[in-house]
Amino acid sequence: MEFHGVIHTFPKYIKLFITAFVLVLSVGYFTGLMFVRQTDSVRPDGIEENYLGNEEIEDAKVMKFEKGEREMLTILHTHVLSISFIFFLLGGLIAITSLPKKLKAFLMIEPFVSIILTFGGIYFMWKGIIWMKYIVMISGTLMTVVYVIGAGVVLFQLSKNK
């Protein structure tokens, strides 16, 4: 079965449905990123503080405490599952675009690598491997770049006809 370029053949109402889905999904994705920015987790030291606390800093603007094991497992569980689902759905839409197959494969598979690196990195950082904060930052950034490209490609391809 050939999926390449199938998105161009969809009727207008299906294209509108997919457009609405990708736009609402993007609102949710970027709202999550706004939350990350609020917790100062866009920089390596902020990532570390968010999970390991900052109790030793007397003049901290916001006091943060180290996450407990139950809280860490809840964070990791919910994020890995939900973000995997987001990229599974977006990957399915990317699969039916007319992008070159190698680029499609990258955009479809890379986010799952970044999910493991980002949230695995958070866990290992929490366990004491502090340098993982850099892996978390790089993989999280790459995951977001791939999301923007993937969502943008899908929306652009929906505007093209057969």
Give first-to-last CA distance, the chain, whole Å. Answer: 18
Closest to 91 in 3D by CA, of 115, 56, 55, 123:
115
Q: Which token pair is 154?
A: 């899908």
* Cα–Cα separations (whole angstroms), residue 60 to 34, 82, 124, 128, 130: 21, 32, 25, 22, 20
According to DSSP, residue 68 is labeled P
CB-CB contact of 121 with 135 (8 Å): yes
Using one digit for the tens of pLDDT, what is the confidence trace for 97-112?
999 999 999 999 999 9
Using one digit for the tens of pLDDT, what is the confidence trace for 115-158?
999 999 999 999 999 999 999 999 999 999 999 999 999 999 99
The model's pTM is 0.93
pLDDT at residue 7 greater than cutoff 90: yes
Cβ within 8 Å of residue 84, ≥6 positions away = 112, 115
Using one digit for the tens of pLDDT, what is the confidence trace for 24-73?
999 999 999 998 888 777 788 889 888 998 887 777 777 888 899 999 99
